[in-house]
Chain A
């Protein structure tokens, strides 16, 4: 039995198919992702978006009695509902949907009850995705990384996110020293959300 499984695993690895992951329905995701490469890319994007999203949601949650903040919370979980579904994280998507409804109705008791579960689930999903991401190679900011950051800045200035995504793919291949990595994660998350101004600010911080 184990041998059969090993052969199947090896076959999957050789054709670059994502392995099964707890709480992820990749078959569902594949219905809308034409290639495995695109699915891998969006899963990686989703991974990088989780930590900044948690920080943002927690900040908004702390002022959840404020009506404006309820609206901001609704917008964030509305987006999470579809992004998580796109990568096959269907339970997470349903949880986001419940919170979206609660935020729309201004039901703060329900938000208070569900929010900690959402935060926990986001972290667990992130840990699970990490197991299927390629191992990064450790390195410091090199001349190439610096040139990539310059190229990235130039593309962002003209809102050219096609090029920005190409550069991010290169930058993500490395793991940097802790402080730099933190900035890099923030940068990637801003680019994922098409937040031009914030991304340029981080690049300038890194370049200095």
Chain B
């Protein structure tokens, strides 16, 4: 699914547009502060930016100008009334502007987004863009999860789950390229969670790395027989984790 970053103040219209977009895209909402937008663009690498003009204020105008200047390679579509357009971005051509009239014409909106993404792909084909690989981290220790996420986030798209069932839901929604999981978890341990993953369609093809705090050769040998690609001792050293990830994805 293509990713759309939807910037703006969430009101009823914003939510209605978001619902339309979600029929076809993965949508990330974002407030219109430049620091947040920059971080979201870096982390999510959207295929398209939608800017909701209503109520954007003076800050919105500055943010809009910065977006146009900095992110020339990401298509941008503004959504608002003619009055909003005149206020914030009068120079916008029809190609970059969706006139928001009630009821919202969802088909036309989706058509414009689709066309903008396709046009951008003509300039930079998707195979030339570096789509980031997805890593799913599973650990009941949510601080440990965040340490690993922060270590990997600059290179990979990282998802987090703190127990098996949540991990399965995430895998079904957004198949990861690799799973890194704690072995000792309280409800479903690593062995049970691995079994749940393997039972999924295509689950056998997801490389899994186990993490454990127990230095035990017997456990290590037993775990390595479970059709996994690696086994690391906790606390995890970033270099070792990166090495094993790069080897398998």
Contacts and interface: CB of A to CB of B under 8 A. Distances in A.
B70 to A, nearest CB: 18
A86 B141 contact: yes
Given A32-B147, A86-B141, A162-B153, A155 B236 contact: no
B220 interface: no
A193 B162 CA distance: 8
Q: Interface size class for chain A?
A: 35 or more
B150 A38 contact: yes
Nearest to A143: B9
Contact of B235 (A41, A86, A159): A86
A34 interface: yes
B54 to A, nearest CB: 12
A83 B141 contact: yes
B162 A155 contact: no
B222 interface: no
A186 interface: no
B31 A78 contact: no
Contact of B143 (A35, A45, A151, A166): A45
A183 interface: no
Contacts of A204: none
A82 B185 CA distance: 12
Contact of A154 (B9, B10, B173, B235): B10
Q: Identify whether the interface residues of B are mostly helix, strand, loop, or mixed.
A: mixed
Interface residues of B, number: 45
B142 interface: yes
B29 interface: yes
Interface in B6-58: 9-10, 18, 26-33, 36, 39-40, 43-44
Contacts of A151: 10, 29-31, 36
A184 to B, nearest CB: 17
A31 interface: yes
A46 interface: yes
Nearest to A46: B143
A163 B150 contact: no
A79 B33 contact: no
Task: Say whether chain A's binding surface is mostly helix, strand, loop, or mixed.
Answer: helix
Contacts of A154: 10, 18, 27-29
Interface in B140-196: 140-147, 149-151, 153, 158-162, 166, 169-170, 173, 186-187
Contact of A194 (B10, B18, B33, B162): B162
A163 B236 CA distance: 24
A49 B10 CA distance: 29
A88 to B, nearest CB: 11
B214 interface: no
B43 A162 contact: yes
Contact of A34 (B27, B166, B186, B238): B238
A144 B57 CA distance: 12
B186 A78 contact: yes
Given A34-B238, A82-B213, A154-B10, A159 B170 contact: yes
B133 interface: no
A182 to B, nearest CB: 21
B237 interface: yes
A170 B238 CA distance: 27
A166 B40 contact: yes
B89 to A, nearest CB: 20
A165 B146 contact: yes
Given A38-B151, A162-B43, A194 B160 contact: yes
Given A86-B147, A151-B31, A194 B36 contact: no
B150 to A, nearest CB: 5
A82 B141 contact: yes
Contact of B9 (A33, A87, A147): A147
12 contacts: A35-B150, A38-B147, A82-B144, A83-B142, A85-B235, A87-B143, A147-B32, A154-B10, A161-B159, A165-B146, A192-B143, A193-B162
Interface of A: 31-35, 38, 41-42, 45-46, 49, 74-75, 78-79, 82-83, 85-87, 143-144, 147-148, 150-151, 154-155, 158-163, 165-167, 170, 192-194
